[in-house]
Amino acid sequence: MLDYHLHLLRHGEDGPYRAESVRAYAAAAAARGVEEICITEHLFRFRQADRLLAGWWDADPDGRLRSQTAAYWAEHATGDLEQYVAAVLGAAAAIEDGDSPPIPIRLGLEVDHYPGRMGEVADLLAGWPFDLLLGSVHWLGAWGFDQMGDPVVDEQWERREVEAVWDAYVAAIEELAATRTADVLAHPDLAKVAGIVPAGDLAPWWDRLAKAAAENGVAAEVSSAGWRKPAAEAYPAAGLLARFRAAGVPVTTASDAHELALVADGADRLRPLLAAAGYTELSGFERRHPSPRAV
State the pairing for strand pair 2-6/36-42.
parallel
Q: What is the pTM of this model?
A: 0.95
The per-residue pLDDT for 14 is 74
Q: Give the span between the Cα atoms of 138 and 73, in whole angstroms.
A: 12
Tens of pLDDT along 34-73? 999 999 999 999 999 999 999 999 999 999 999 999 999 9
Of 76, 68, 70, which Cα lies nearest the Cα of 54?
Answer: 70
Q: Give the span between the Cα atoms of 159 and 150, in whole angstroms.
A: 15
Q: In total, how many domains does the chain have?
A: 1
The per-residue pLDDT for 94 is 65
The per-residue pLDDT for 99 is 76
The alpha carbon dihedral of 272, 6, 155, 162 has a sign of: negative
Q: Which residues contact 117 (CB under 8 A, 6 or more apart)?
A: 52, 53, 56
Residue spans of the chain under pLDDT 70? 12, 94-98
Judged on CB neighbours under 10 Å (0-12, 13-18, 19+), 10 is exposed
The per-residue pLDDT for 24 is 96
Question: What separation in angstroms does the CA of 61 have from each of 22, 39, 52, 100, 170?
Answer: 40, 35, 22, 52, 21
The per-residue pLDDT for 10 is 81
CATH code for the domain in which residue 23 is found:
3.20.20.140
- Which residues constitute the domain of residue 132? 2-294
Judged on CB neighbours under 10 Å (0-12, 13-18, 19+), 125 is middle
The per-residue pLDDT for 95 is 58
